[in-house]
Amino acid sequence: MQRPRRWRFRLTTYVLRRVLGLIPVLFGVSLLLFLITRLIPGDPAVAMLGQRASAEALQQLRTDLGLTLPVWFNLEAAMQRGPLGLFDSQYFNYMGDLLSGDLGRSVFSRIPVSESLLVRFPATLELALAAMLVSLIVGIPAGVYAALHRGRLPDTLIMTFALSGVSFPVFWLAIILIYIFAVTLGWLPPSSRISVSSDLNEITNLYLLDALLTRNWSAFTDVLRHLILPAVALGTIPLAIVVRMTRSSMLEVLSQDYVRTARSKGVGEREVVTKHALRNALLPVITVVGLSFGTLLSGAILTETVFSWPGIGRWVYDAIGARDYPIIQGGVLFVAVTFAVVNLLVDLSYALIDPRIQYT
């Protein structure tokens, strides 16, 4: 169908406004992280090196980290070197580094944070996508079944069960899953992404994809076996909302005229549900899953900790223990930016798909 030109114009301005609207938020996120890490009482150099570090080492680290500079504006430098010196301060150096993609280096390994992110993020992404898949595979049939038995026992049971899913601490569920399926039954490996003995050419660092691309089937099954337990544990987080959304969306669609028409034509119940109703009911479900991506990222911190999964979560967790502030800051910033961008993309794609959405 050709959409009217005015619709396209309004859509374009809507997209532009949303994308531009992201800028002040991202700017604020970076400012908040700066405030959190710089303006707290205590000396980060002491925090990093410990109380017994020598005065020279502390001073060296302070200079390296740029902590000897003024926080906001460098008046002294402005007097000596001209107006641009005003911006030789902690904040403007931080922003300048950020905008050029420099997130600093790990205090201990000296590896650039942005470099580690590129290796770590695919691990987290793979886990989050697998968790989404788990929640959809379990959640959609459960939601449809609940909708078809609305108000009766299966409905109550499924909805209560789904609610229980969000009430588990995800790290606890992870421990229990390891105990049952790895320790007691020995079916699945308890930790990490791949066996030490497995040989895999890393291309994208999404191991399943890499194994597929290189047609390395033994590595593929190995990676898959490692992925199951963490994905199930993390998948319980969006599960409840998938079930709830599928159920209410199905109920709405099933009560519509065209479904009644299909039924009165004599179309079988199975076909009405799968072909006519489910397809239309799925759109809001997909949106909700997209929006829960951020929750998955933060849940990944807990899941990855338990499963020794080498993603961003485990990395930030280790950095917290080691007080490696550049990693904490860079990791958190990266996750927040990813979250904001994914949310925007979900919103925009929803607006593209569904012309009923108002752009106000």
Partner 1 sequence: MSTSDATGRRGRLFGESVLGDQLRKFFRHTTGVTGLIIVGAFVVISLLAPVLAPYDASRDRNLRARLNPPSAEHLFGTDELGRDQLIRVWHGGRISLRVGLAAVAMAVVVGSVLGLIAGYVGGWIDTLIMWAIDILLAFPGILLAIAIVATLGPNLTNALIAISVTQIPIYARIIRSVVLSLRESEYVQAARALGANPFRIVLRHLLPNSLSPIIVQLTLSIGIAILDVAALGFLGLGAQPPAPEWGLMIRDGFSQFLRAPWMSIFPGIAIFLSVVGFNLLGDAIRDVLDPRLAE
> Which of 123, 45, 66 has its CA nearest to residue 304?
123
Binding test (CB under 8 A) with partner 1, winner from 83, 169, 186, 266: 169
Coil, helix or strand for 68?
Answer: coil
Alpha-carbon span 165 to 161, nearest angstrom: 6
Q: Which tokens hold the place of 30?
A: 């970076």
Q: What is the DSSP letter of 355?
A: T
Work out whether 360 is an interface residue with partner 1 (CB under 8 A). Answer: no
Work out whether 166 is an interface residue with partner 1 (CB under 8 A). Answer: yes
Helix 325-353 and helix 5-38: axis angle, to 10°? 170
Binding test (CB under 8 A) with partner 1, winner from 55, 99, 183, 196: 183
Residues sharing a CB contact under 8 Å with residue 7, sequence separation 6 or more, in sequence order:
355
Q: Which tokens hold the place of 205?
A: 């660092």
Work out whether 328 is an interface residue with partner 1 (CB under 8 A). Answer: yes
Alpha-carbon span 303 to 233, nearest angstrom: 7
**Could you tell me the CA-to-CA distances from 39 to 34, 51, 173, 317 in Å, in that order?**
8, 20, 37, 22
Q: Which tokens hold the place of 117?
A: 């992110």
Work out whether 17 is an interface residue with partner 1 (CB under 8 A). Answer: no
Work out whether 98 is an interface residue with partner 1 (CB under 8 A). Answer: no
Least distance between partner 1 and beta carbon 211 (Å)? 29
What character string, x for contact with partner 1 (CB under 8 A) and - otherwise, covers 217-256? -------------------------------x--x-----
Binding test (CB under 8 A) with partner 1, winner from 171, 280, 283, 347: 171
**Could you tell me the CA-to-CA distances from 243 to 56, 252, 335, 346 in Å, in that order?**
59, 14, 26, 19
Least distance between partner 1 and beta carbon 74 (Å)? 24
C-beta closer to partner 1: residue 114 or 248? 248
Work out whether 107 is an interface residue with partner 1 (CB under 8 A). Answer: no
C-beta closer to partner 1: residue 87 or 168? 168
Alpha-carbon span 190 to 225, nearest angstrom: 10
Work out whether 205 is an interface residue with partner 1 (CB under 8 A). Answer: no
Residues sharing a CB contact under 8 Å with residue 60, sequence separation 6 or more, in sequence order:
none
C-beta closer to partner 1: residue 24 or 83? 24
C-beta closer to partner 1: residue 74 or 236? 236
C-beta closer to partner 1: residue 309 or 339? 339
Coil, helix or strand for 52?
Answer: coil
Alpha-carbon span 252 to 45, nearest angstrom: 59
Binding test (CB under 8 A) with partner 1, winner from 306, 309, 314, 351: 306
Work out whether 72 is an interface residue with partner 1 (CB under 8 A). Answer: no
Alpha-carbon span 180 to 188, nearest angstrom: 10
- Residue by residue, DSSP assigns 116-172 as HHHHHHHHHHHHHHHHHHHHHHHHHHHHHHHHHTTTSHHHHHHHHHHHHHHHS-HHH
Q: With CB under 8 A as the rule, give the number of residues binding partner 1.
A: 51
| Cβ neighbours, 10 Å, residue 175 | 13
Work out whether 335 is an interface residue with partner 1 (CB under 8 A). Answer: yes
Coil, helix or strand for 265?
Answer: coil
Work out whether 134 is an interface residue with partner 1 (CB under 8 A). Answer: no
Least distance between partner 1 and beta carbon 105 (Å)? 18
Work out whether 345 is an interface residue with partner 1 (CB under 8 A). Answer: no
C-beta closer to partner 1: residue 176 or 213? 176
Work out whether 19 is an interface residue with partner 1 (CB under 8 A). Answer: no
Binding test (CB under 8 A) with partner 1, winner from 10, 11, 18, 37: 37
Work out whether 145 is an interface residue with partner 1 (CB under 8 A). Answer: no
State the residues that interact with partner 1 by CB under 8 A: 24-26, 28-29, 31-33, 36-37, 40, 150, 156, 159-160, 163-164, 166-173, 175-176, 179, 183, 248, 251, 294-295, 297-299, 301-302, 305-306, 316-317, 320-321, 325, 328, 332, 335-336, 339-340
